[in-house]
Amino acid sequence: MTRSPLLDVDELSVAFTRRRRRDVQAVDRISFSLDEGRITGLVGESGCGKSVTSLALMGLLPARGVRVGGTARFRLGGGGEADLLALPPARMRDLRGSEIAMVFQDPLSSLNPVVPIGRQVAEVLTRHRGVKGAAARDQAAELLDRVGIPDPGRRLREYPHELSGGMRQRALIAMAVACRPRLLIADEPTTALDVTIQAQILELLSGLVAEEGTALLMITHDLGVVAGLCDEINVLYSGRTVEGAERHELFAAPTHPYTAGLLGSIPRLDAPRDEPLTPVRGTVDDAIAWDDGCAFAPRCDRFADDCLGGPPPMRERGAGHRFRCLHPTEPAPGEESEGR
Amino acid sequence: MLRFITRRVLTAVPTLFGLSVLLFFWVRLLPGGPEYALLPEDASAEQRAALRRTMGLDDPILEQYGRFVLQLLQGDMGTSLQTGRPVLTEFLIKFPATAELAAMAMLFAVAIGIPLGYLAARRRGGPLDALAVGGSLLGICTPVFFLAFVLKLVFAEQLGLFPSAFRQSPGLDATRITGFFVVDGIATREWDAAADALMHLVLPGLALSSIPLAVIVRMTRASVIEVLGEDYVRTAEAKGLHRGTIRTRHVLRNAMLPVVTAIGLLSGSLLAGAVLTESVFAFGGIGEFIYAATQTRDYPVLLGFILIIATVYVLINLLVDISYSLLDPRVRVS
């Protein structure tokens, strides 16, 4: 008997309702699952619904003007299961910070400017573990040390503006992992940092996952980030999954033209010097509604007339490799290559 | 911190000096002079001219200003032309009434304004928000003396809940130490005297608080709405913190920063703006005295009182700056 995954997201939908106007379907029936010790990437351009997905799982979407559908079954630490999308707010508040935690994008604005770093770390421990005073301070110092902040005793008393960008992100990570959550969501954790620091932060995150057996959901627009990090990757476009596979499979055989386009636009050190990068044409704003056909069609090089005949179905291609395209760049087993 | 305070005090000196120059010449722009107020109406022109000469008012104006500054540096603010008592003595008699009134008004404004502003922001668009926003508009627009009259009429004269005038019930025998009646009552443990003085402060305090209350409600509301949208509040939510912790440590501590600055600015206007309320409730503070001094061209009183009020104002704002730097580490000077 196989154990159920730590988090099983099934047909998650999020729509923002607007007065007297059509709702905005930000996330449209996305399914994926997360497991202990594994890193799963959620990749897409801004506006594809990846951040909304993370906020929905955290229960941090605004209470009004949002309609959430689907289920997200989470295996609880004490045994049993809970649907994160249906839990009462008070129960969700108990889970947040203890079993499920999140690292945000912009470390400066995500830290309270008028509260010392140590206190911001310690308050999570106080809230979920009942640790107070000097004991909480000591544990906070240990956590800062663990995420690679030198001289943690001094840093505890400092304020966010006194830390460098990389230090701030490390402090945010310390807050997130303080109670050893079993699920960690990182929403573009390296976007605001410069490149050398980016690598360090990613290394820190993957190290924590390996040591603690945490499940990590890595949200990013940068396939280069997930390339070396994720075990499994889901590519989103305009609120839907267009392709999902194990990392090696995805990079070896990108099947959806959008995935192929994203990969083609990553600069590579081993490419010939004069070879130009191939960007994906257009912007996300060019998307059409999935009901009318493939949302990516207006930007797609492999566009054909049948792309506009309703939403393309999800298809399978080998073990766990799913894609949503009628004219894939890689042939599905048993199909002839269209080879253009 | 000490260096910060020293620097702030030193920068206040040129401000106060500039103010003294401005005031000195400004006051002299008032038509007429003290000779009209001090002498009976049927005094002759010669008598008036003689009085001006003896008071030194016909000397070159720069010489008069020099004399004023020299006196001031020796701690002498001159004597009142109306009462013949030293200006400083007069000030120390009148000031406690106004200060108590202003403090009471600010207490009302802060104690009501901050919670109301916070709730309005949290329930933005709801009935409480509409009430807070509409009420604060009304508070800013209603003339203070009109509000003072209405409060006095309804709550003092018709309902008899509060006294309608003075700082203390007539005939009450209370010990005086500082001139701050509430403080004196507490210090001497004459609780009934303290309570009596407090009751006398309620209506004028409420009347005077209308404008600062309205400003504080609006500023708190706007500031809380802004802070609620900040990323660090989302971080606090993501930590699963209790709502009370998020409210005080993460929302209010940040939202209070602009409000604290406003409180400093408003308290100055309370000291100088209490005159109408004071006269409605026969409170006898500095406002009434300054008004009388303007009528009689009591130059030393006008100059001295306004300069002291300005100094107090500078001190209050220094306190505000210090508390601001305690609240916001980003402006802290090491």
User: Among partner residues B232, B238, B257, which is closest to A112 by beta-carbon distance?
Assistant: B232
Q: A332 Cβ partners below 8 Å, 6+ apart?
A: A255, A315, A316, A317
Sign of torsion over alpha carbons A93, A99, A103, A104: negative
Helix, strand or coil for residue A102?
strand
Residue A338: inside a domain, yes or no?
Answer: no
Whether pTM > 0.80 for this model: the answer is yes
* pLDDT tens track, chain B, 334 positions: 788 788 888 888 898 889 889 989 888 888 888 888 888 888 888 888 888 888 888 888 889 999 988 998 898 898 998 888 999 999 999 999 999 999 999 999 999 999 999 999 999 999 999 999 999 999 889 888 899 999 999 999 999 999 998 898 888 888 888 889 899 999 999 999 999 999 999 999 999 999 999 999 999 999 999 999 999 999 999 999 999 999 999 999 999 999 999 998 898 888 878 888 898 998 888 988 888 898 888 989 999 998 898 888 888 888 888 888 888 888 865 4
* Pair (A49, A176) in one structural domain: yes
Residue A1: inside a domain, yes or no?
Answer: no
* Pair (A265, A227) in one structural domain: no
Residue A340: inside a domain, yes or no?
Answer: no
The count of domains in chain A is 2
Architecture in CATH for domain B98-282: Orthogonal Bundle (1.10)
User: Chain B residues with CB inside 8 Å of A175's CB?
Assistant: 235, 239
Residue A215: inside a domain, yes or no?
Answer: yes
Separation in Å, CA of B254 to nearest CA in chain A: 7
**Side chain identity at residue A95, one-letter code:** L
User: Chain B residues with CB inside 8 Å of A110's CB?
Assistant: 231-232, 234-235
Q: Residue A228 in contact with residue A300, Cβ under 8 Å?
A: no
Average pLDDT over residues A33-40: 94
A207-227 pLDDT, tens per residue? 998 999 999 999 998 888 787
**Closest residue, chain B, to A103 (C-alpha):** B235
Q: Using the beta-carbon criterion (under 8 Å), do A60 and B237 form an inter-chain contact?
A: yes
**Closest residue, chain A, to B324 (C-alpha):** A114
Host H or E run for residue A218: strand A215-220
Write down the ipTM of this complex: 0.89
Range of the domain at A172: 7-237
Separation in Å, CA of B244 to nearest CA in chain A: 12
Residue A117 banded pLDDT, cuts 50, 70, 90: very high
Looking at the complex, does the CB of residue A51 fall below 8 Å from at least one CB of chain B? no
Helix, strand or coil for residue A68?
strand
Residue A1 banded pLDDT, cuts 50, 70, 90: very low
- Total Cβ atoms within 10 A of residue B37: 15
Q: Are strands A39-43 and A215-220 parallel, antiparallel or unpaired?
A: parallel
* Pair (A48, A184) in one structural domain: yes
* Pair (A244, A206) in one structural domain: no
Residue A333: inside a domain, yes or no?
Answer: no
- Total Cβ atoms within 10 A of residue A32: 23
**Closest residue, chain A, to B253 (C-alpha):** A114
Residue from B227, B233, B239, B252 to probe the interface with A (highest A Cβ count within 10 Å): B239
Looking at the complex, does the CB of residue A221 fall below 8 Å from at least one CB of chain B? no
Q: What angle do CA A52, A56, A60 make, to 5 degrees?
A: 100
* Pair (A21, A125) in one structural domain: yes
Average pLDDT over residues A119-134: 95
A280-300 pLDDT, tens per residue? 888 777 778 888 889 998 888
Q: Phi then psi for B324, rounded to 5 degrees?
A: -60, -45
A57-107 pLDDT, tens per residue? 999 998 889 999 999 999 998 888 999 999 999 999 999 999 999 999 899
- pLDDT of amino acid A236: 93
Residue A334: inside a domain, yes or no?
Answer: no
Q: Phi then psi for A280, rounded to 5 degrees?
A: -80, 125
Separation in Å, CA of A182 to nearest CA in chain B: 14
User: Among partner residues A58, A113, A115, which is closest to B238 by beta-carbon distance?
Assistant: A58
More confident residue, A273 or A261: A261
* Pair (A183, A52) in one structural domain: yes
User: Among partner residues A109, A113, A127, which is closest to B239 by beta-carbon distance?
Assistant: A127
* Pair (A170, A34) in one structural domain: yes
* Pair (A52, A166) in one structural domain: yes
Highest mean pLDDT among A121-130, A201-210, A259-268: A121-130
* Pair (A33, A156) in one structural domain: yes
Q: Using the beta-carbon criterion (under 8 Å), do A159 and B250 form an inter-chain contact?
A: no
* Pair (A74, A188) in one structural domain: yes
B318-330 pLDDT, tens per residue? 888 888 888 888 8
**Side chain identity at residue A136, one-letter code:** A
- pLDDT of amino acid A262: 87
Strand order in the sheet with A7-18: A21-34, A7-18, A66-75, A81-83
Q: What residues of B are in the A interface, CB distance below 8 Å?
A: 230-232, 234-242, 245, 249-250, 253-254, 257, 327-330
Looking at the complex, does the CB of residue A128 fall below 8 Å from at least one CB of chain B? yes
User: Chain A residues with CB inside 8 Å of B255's CB?
Assistant: none
**Closest residue, chain A, to B254 (C-alpha):** A114
Does the pLDDT at position A277 exceed 80? no
CATH of the domain at A81: 3.40.50.300
Residue A2: inside a domain, yes or no?
Answer: no
Among A187, A202, A237, the domain-final residue is A237
